[in-house]
Chain A
Amino acid sequence: MQAYQQKAEVVSTEKVTGDIYRFTVKAPDIAADARPGQFVMVRAGDGLDPLLRRPFSIHQVAEGGLVQILFKVIGKGTQAIAGLQVGQHMDVLGPLGRGFVHNTMQEHYLVGGGIGVAPLLFLAKQLLKKNEPSAIRVLLGAGTKAEISTLADDFENMGLGVQVSTEDGSLGKPGLVTDLMVPLQNENKVMVYTCGPYPMLRAVAGVSSDKGWACQVSLETIMACGLGACLGCAVLRADMNGYVHVCKDGPVFDADDVAWL
């Protein structure tokens, strides 16, 4: 697969809320080839510590060769990246991995948890090219209203129906994102696309399977190369016999193809 290493100029930075940032960089080659669900590996500065690149989903691409990432500050890598100013450069490698497959399903449910909404915006845009907005449903879960309200607006502004759940009940339905899924009844063929923390993915995969809906999950593992070279990103196969590699075989998998531990 074709990947590019680009010194991408930071063209805008946005503090979405608290510790969540949205950065736009100019990386024309990556923008041209990117598909929803793919990711980039970003170098956090020029130094040797932190050493490894950090993986981020491609949040959006835009005219003019722009690539956007939406990220949460976790440790020193994301902290360093959040400190970049407009006009500075970010060393970006991508687009990497296999993204979401969207086929001829009649309805599409986009299920995001917290920062896991990142790749779903790009996916929604792509889906809208071939589907009526009414065929796309967005279900978002988060801890609090602050974490999710701006992101929920982005989907609403695209004309999509959005339902939200928060653990503290400050927005939408109190509880987990799966609580939004359980009541849904649907006779049509449904594809669920989900990204978020592991326990949420497992629960979403479980509900989807109970309902007979197909489900694609975007997984996260620690990564060194992002290119299929180091074999560090192994995840157990569904048959428990050997591993798939998140950076190359994923990050998006059919929920039936991986073991849920």
Chain B
Amino acid sequence: MALEEPDMKISIGSLRLRNPVMTASGTFGYGEEYGSLVNLHRLGAIIVKGISLLPRQGTPPPRIAETACGMLNAIGLENVGLERFLSEKLPFLQGISTPLIVNILGDTVQDYEQLAARLNEEEKVAALEVNISCPNVKQGGVAFGTDPGMAHAVTKGVRQHFSRPVIVKLSPNVTDISEIAGAVEEAGADAVSLINTVLGMAIDIESCRPKLANIFGGLSGPAIKPIGLRMVWQVAECVSIPVIGIGGITTPEDAIEYILAGACAVQVGTTNFINPKASEEIIQGIGAYLTEHSMASMQDLIGRARRV
């Protein structure tokens, strides 16, 4: 007799997810791009490319460089902007039963507040993920994510203008990530997600020039998994809100490591480019693991590696 599907439900504030696997911002477009390759209804949540108030063109090419078990990107937060997101991208997502999380970014606290206020009117937007950490843009991003005071201010602003869960996405490019996590928790974040990409670079030794036009870019993929895992462990230690693990997850085993470290959910990023079916495989693999290890629910797994 087939075993019953294990209970994989998790909660992030008032948001209930059928399973803990989401697609990471910037790696899954606006969902539609993967519509013919992935069963979108099966995912825990869909997180779309970061949206700003106005459209952004992004940085000049080359924008990508492959590195050992990873990739660098300097997309420069290119996106269609709030209005086109609402008119062109949201209708498709409205037809998908999976909760939608919108990733937002801005240059000022007011930008974030305006985005939050407008997205609050759209019921389909189940939660916001606040990008305070993108290392690609010379202005904005960086300052919020690396300064506890600024991180607090942005979180508080979004919190005041959005009635559903607010997730704050943390940058690994800081000395003490726990300090930032503590600041955003204090400001009313319902959860934190980490890590965003790790600042890096690559040089072409034939042209003797940096491989990215932007010189620096964000490193993602399997190469950063140990960093993400360590930071999730540290943050889970010091906050009492849910932690969402991101960074180099390609297999169910990777996801389970993050959950054992204290993450209640995970995001799959760069792997979507390599194996679009990975998120579904990870959902299935976590379920199989719970069954095999006679665990009744995600609660048995979350943070288990930290228990003494």
Q: Which residues of A contact B (CB under 8 A)?
A: 1-5, 43, 48-53, 91, 93, 221-236, 241-243
Contacts of A234 on B, CB cut-off 8 Å?
A: 58, 60-61, 63, 78
In the bound assembly, the distance between CA atoms of A234 and B213 in angstroms comes to 12
> Beyond A3-B37, A243-B57, is A230–B73 a contact (Cβ under 8 Å)?
yes
Establish whether residues A230 and B26, one from each chain, have CB atoms under 8 Å apart when the complex forms. Answer: yes
Answer yes or no: B70 CB below 8 A from chain A CBs: yes
A interface footprint on B248-286 (CB within 8 Å = 1, 0 otherwise): 001000000000000000000010111111000000000
Interface size class of B (residues with CB under 8 A): 35 or more
In the bound assembly, the distance between CA atoms of A225 and B276 in angstroms comes to 9
Contacts of B61 on A, CB cut-off 8 Å?
A: 221, 233-236, 243
Answer yes or no: B14 CB below 8 A from chain A CBs: no
Binding-face segment, B5-13, B27-35, B236-244, B295-303: B27-35
In the bound assembly, the distance between CA atoms of A143 and B244 in angstroms comes to 53
> Beyond A52-B66, A230-B27, A235-B61, is A4–B36 a contact (Cβ under 8 Å)?
yes
The smallest C-beta distance from A44 to any residue of chain B, in angstroms, reads 10
Establish whether residues B250 and A242, one from each chain, have CB atoms under 8 Å apart when the complex forms. Answer: no
Establish whether residues B276 and A231, one from each chain, have CB atoms under 8 Å apart when the complex forms. Answer: no
The smallest C-beta distance from B58 to any residue of chain A, in angstroms, reads 6
New contact pairs (20) apart from A5-B37, A51-B270, A236-B60, CB-CB < 8 Å: A5-B275, A49-B69, A51-B69, A51-B71, A51-B221, A51-B274, A52-B274, A93-B37, A225-B273, A227-B34, A228-B29, A229-B33, A230-B29, A230-B73, A230-B75, A230-B273, A232-B63, A233-B61, A233-B63, A234-B78
In the bound assembly, the distance between CA atoms of A242 and B76 in angstroms comes to 12
Within 8 A of A (CB), among B129-159: none
Contacts of B33 on A, CB cut-off 8 Å?
A: 225, 227-229
Establish whether residues A232 and B64, one from each chain, have CB atoms under 8 Å apart when the complex forms. Answer: yes
The smallest C-beta distance from B136 to any residue of chain A, in angstroms, reads 11
A interface footprint on B187-221 (CB within 8 Å = 1, 0 otherwise): 00000000000000000000000000000000001
> Beyond A93-B276, A222-B64, A225-B272, is A52–B71 a contact (Cβ under 8 Å)?
yes
Contacts of A243 on B, CB cut-off 8 Å?
A: 57-58, 61, 78
Best-buried of A2, A228, A242, A243 by chain B (most CB within 10 Å): A243
> Beyond A3-B37, A4-B36, A229-B33, is A50–B66 a contact (Cβ under 8 Å)?
yes
In the bound assembly, the distance between CA atoms of A93 and B34 in angstroms comes to 12
Establish whether residues A51 and B222, one from each chain, have CB atoms under 8 Å apart when the complex forms. Answer: yes
The smallest C-beta distance from B242 to any residue of chain A, in angstroms, reads 26
Interface of B is mostly: loop
Answer yes or no: B65 CB below 8 A from chain A CBs: yes
In the bound assembly, the distance between CA atoms of A49 and B66 in angstroms comes to 9
Establish whether residues B75 and A232, one from each chain, have CB atoms under 8 Å apart when the complex forms. Answer: yes
Show 12 residue pairs from A and B whose CB-CB distance is below 8 angstroms, ordered by the A residue: A2-B36, A3-B36, A51-B270, A93-B276, A222-B65, A223-B64, A229-B28, A229-B29, A229-B33, A229-B272, A236-B60, A243-B61
Answer yes or no: B2 CB below 8 A from chain A CBs: no
Answer yes or no: B68 CB below 8 A from chain A CBs: yes
Contacts of A226 on B, CB cut-off 8 Å?
A: 273
Contacts of B69 on A, CB cut-off 8 Å?
A: 48-49, 51
Establish whether residues A48 and B71, one from each chain, have CB atoms under 8 Å apart when the complex forms. Answer: no
> Beyond A53-B273, A230-B273, is A1–B36 a contact (Cβ under 8 Å)?
yes
In the bound assembly, the distance between CA atoms of A223 and B63 in angstroms comes to 9
Best-buried of A93, A222, A225, A241 by chain B (most CB within 10 Å): A225
Q: Which of A1, A3, A52 touches B273 (beta carbons < 8 Å)?
A: A52
> Beyond A5-B276, A232-B63, is A48–B78 a contact (Cβ under 8 Å)?
no
Establish whether residues A231 and B75, one from each chain, have CB atoms under 8 Å apart when the complex forms. Answer: yes
Establish whether residues A227 and B29, one from each chain, have CB atoms under 8 Å apart when the complex forms. Answer: yes
In the bound assembly, the distance between CA atoms of A222 and B71 in angstroms comes to 11
Best-buried of A1, A50, A227, A236 by chain B (most CB within 10 Å): A227
In the bound assembly, the distance between CA atoms of A241 and B57 in angstroms comes to 8
Contacts of A91 on B, CB cut-off 8 Å?
A: 275
Answer yes or no: B62 CB below 8 A from chain A CBs: yes
A interface footprint on B45-73 (CB within 8 Å = 1, 0 otherwise): 00001000000011011111110111101
In the bound assembly, the distance between CA atoms of A225 and B69 in angstroms comes to 16
